[in-house]
Amino acid sequence: MKPSFANELERTLTGDSFAAPPSHILEGIDDALAHRELPHVPRSIYAELWHITFWQQLSLDWVRGIPTPNPASAAAGFFSQADIERENWSELRVRFARTSAEAAENGRDAAAFERVIRCPSPPGHPERTMTVREQLENLTAHNAYHFGRIVLMRQMAGSWPPPSGGFSW
């Protein structure tokens, strides 16, 4: 039985929408594939998912009213060697699933969509405000971009489509 969704915003965060759901995209990736370096590709699948999860958590903090600082540089939004040592591929997938479910739960709360939240900008830039809905829309666009990169890496590695299926176009 397929899960029911309250709206398209929730669906884009966790389910079948315009592309394969994140659970399918990540399905069947073992530790070796997650960390594999591919020619001319700047990051691994692990790095892409870590980055997605980092921004997902930051977005959730802002939605909760926690003024978590925006990274000072783009590189600060990617993992360090210490991060890999603290969190293996399996643990990262669990953390992603947890924050993804929480983001989708916020996507169900239409009554809170127009609440304005603070979104700290990188140092030296004015602070931004946006609605919860706008922040979740930004998050879905961000995730879609990086999941597209993961799909491409899987295609390059000869591991696409996943067992549950995925778009092949």
Domain coordinates of the chain in residue numbers? 24-156
CATH number of the structural domain 24-156: 1.20.120.450
What pLDDT does 107 receive?
A: 87
- For the entire predicted model, the pTM comes to 0.90
Is the Cβ–Cβ distance between 39 and 4 less than 8 Å?
no
Cis peptide leading into 67, omega within 30 of 0? no
Residue 4 CB neighbours (<10 A): 8
Mean pLDDT within 70-89: 84
Closest listed residue to residue 22, CA positions, set 47, 53, 55: 53
By mean pLDDT, which of 6-20, 31-45, 57-71, 92-106 is the weakest? Answer: 6-20
Task: Identify whether the C-beta of residue 57 lies closer than 8 Å to the C-beta of residue 66.
Answer: no
The whole-number pLDDT of residue 1 equals: 45
Average pLDDT, the chain: 89
Residue 166: predicted pLDDT: 67
Mean pLDDT of 15-33: 86
Which residues, 6+ apart, have CB-to-CB distance to 116 below 8 Å?
129, 130, 131
pLDDT digits (tens, 9 = 90+) for 109-131: 888 989 999 999 888 889 899 99
| Nearest alpha-carbon partner for 117 in 146, 97, 101, 137 | 137
pLDDT on residue 159: 95
* CA dist list (Å): 62 to 26, 115, 124, 161: 26, 11, 19, 35
Convert the pLDDT of each residue in 31-74 to its tens digit: 999 999 999 999 999 999 999 999 999 999 999 999 899 888 88
pLDDT value at 106 more than 50: yes
